[in-house]
Amino acid sequence: MSCNIGFIGLGIMGKPMSRNLMKAGHRLVVFDLVTVSMDAIVSEGAARGTSAADVAAKSDIVITMLPDGPEVDQAILGPGGVLEGARPGTLVIDMSSISPLVAQKAGAACAAKGVDFLDAPVSGGEPGAIAGSLAIMVGGKPEAFDRAVPVLKAMGATVTLTGPVGAGNVTKLANQIMVACNIAAMGEALVLATKAGLDPEVVFNAVKGGLAGSNVLNAKAPMVIARNFKPGFRIRLHQKDLRNALLAAESMKVGLPITSLVQQMLIALMNDGKGDFDHSGIVTFLENLAQTEVKKPGQ
């Protein structure tokens, strides 16, 4: 069934996601603070919105894909925001990676206006957004989830209800903790092996089929060995995610000692001008400690 969908936030992720919604036959009205970001999608058939409120007034379902909590807060709850245009029965789906606490605040404000809200962050990066193969982790009421599934399926390969509003972002933070700590552990291991005189590619091939093997290792070790830190997923975005994880953990009195340590590495890397490196660049922090680059001998 085709729907009237509003899409707010046409960045690296939002552009290909909105394209996949149009491919699936939905009618789109779009908005981004940066006018040129709308031009390509409008030229491909979407209507141009004048504000988040305007988009919401013209849509049954509104999707937001924004950098972080403050932007989501502004776009949904702020002046000219989604809630100024939404009607009772509108469904708002925030697909940004934000603090679960901000998602709960937005969910409560929506509920007070009779508007349904889901938090539905994604994993899979730009390639997954282009291919429509994102992993989508959703928090919210089952009825709202059921209504959203056909729309989310146009953008993702897996769509999983993980709990009430906020649970989608708790799941995403859990994902980001595992990825960041995995990259850091991989970095320590490969720096040690390289400084011992081994070829890191040989070490990678020797361990990848065993218990230490992982999607992270398979995706990131070859990038490090090739000295390719083109993003992918930027260090500054991962730092934002770990900050949100640490804030959420503090509010629940949960200690995340390993995450805290990796967060310090990410901050140091940003101060070193590497915020726009791929997150595999975490390894460069550990390389500096050992004055050893993970690369093939003689490279």
| Residue of the chain from 74, 160, 288, 292 that contacts ligand NAD (CB under 6 A) | 74
Binding mask 178-217 for ligand NAD (x = CB under 6 A): ----------------------------------------
Match 């901050």 to its residue by tokens. Answer: 267
Binding mask 9-48 for ligand NAD (x = CB under 6 A): xxxxxx----------------xxxx--x-----------
Pick 66 or 115: Cβ nearer ligand NAD: 66
Pick 71 or 293: Cβ nearer ligand NAD: 71
Q: Name the active-site residue from 58, 105, 141, 172.
A: 172
Which stretch, 68-76, 214-222, 245-253, 290-298, contacts ligand NAD (CB under 6 A)? 68-76
> Does residue 233 bind ligand NAD (CB under 6 A)?
yes
Residue list 75-114, contact with ligand NAD (CB under 6 A): 75, 96-97
Active site residue 296: no
Pick 130 or 207: Cβ nearer ligand NAD: 130
| Residue of the chain from 60, 84, 126, 276 that contacts ligand NAD (CB under 6 A) | 126
Two tokens, residue 186: 């991989």
Which stretch, 41-49, 71-79, 246-254, 267-275, contacts ligand NAD (CB under 6 A)? 71-79
The CB-nearest residue to ligand NAD is 11
Pick 31 or 145: Cβ nearer ligand NAD: 31
| Residue of the chain from 3, 27, 42, 67 that contacts ligand NAD (CB under 6 A) | 67
| Residue of the chain from 237, 245, 265, 283 that contacts ligand NAD (CB under 6 A) | 237
Beta-carbon contacts of 167 under 8 Å, excluding residues fewer than 6 positions away, are: 100, 119, 137, 138, 139
3-state secondary structure the chain: CCCEEEEECCCCCHHHHHHHHHHCCCEEEEECCCHHHHHHHHHCCCEECCCHHHHHHCCCEEEECCCCHHHHHHHHHCCCCHHHHCCCCCEEEECCCCCHHHHHHHHHHHHHCCCEEEECCEECHHHHHHHCCEEEEEECCHHHHHHHHHHHCCCEEEEEEEECCCHHHHHHHHHHHHHHHHHHHHHHHHHHHHHCCCCHHHHHHHHCCCCCCCHHHHHHHHHHHCCCCCCCCEHHHHHHHHHHHHHHHHHCCCCCHHHHHHHHHHHHHHHCCCCCCEHHHHHHHHHHHHCCCCCCCCC
Q: Which residues are catalytic?
A: 172
Q: Which residues form the interface with ligand NAD (CB under 6 A)?
A: 8-14, 31-34, 37, 52, 65-68, 71, 74-75, 96-97, 122-123, 125-126, 233, 237
